Structure 1
């Protein structure tokens, strides 16, 4: 389960930002998560709660904003939304797609006391 390693990284980012602001507690974390990132939102939520124990993020709400997968179709020259890698172009049926978005994962915002 790589989600735990991801959440440990999120906690490191949170702790760094809290130190920079001389704060002591985090109320919420907003995470952008692409549908093609290979991370399950439910597993991220569970692992975040565990990783946050005994840290400044303990008890913080985790808000996940799921971003769609987007690809450029080389056959019909359109930007199309895809649910997973290997999908065909919904416009022309081609499999010649180049992923352009949806793989990202980033801490977008923190609410800090």
Structure 2
């Protein structure tokens, strides 16, 4: 099943069972160029399914109750911000270098 097909099923279920969660998803305006730039900044390649997911939705709103249980799906810009914060913490606290993985 493709990511697009999966989202159709998820959207259908959410509209009937959790419409508030569906409303909290950010409609995507993410482009391939933005995904490429994010990969370059993060130093990691997104799997094709993750890239496709971000073309449907750009994560969830900040007040989201969470599509994935209590976990919030971060918008692309917040992933980059979080990654930068982790890199700063590595330097500040002399931690083991942080490497994102997907």
Structure number having the greater strand percentage? 1
**Higher relative helix content:** 2
Shorter-normalised TM range: under 0.3
Bigger relative CO (Cα 8 Å, ≥ 6 apart)? 1
| TM-score, reference length from structure 2 | 0.26
**Normalised by the size of structure 1, how large is the TM-score?**
0.25
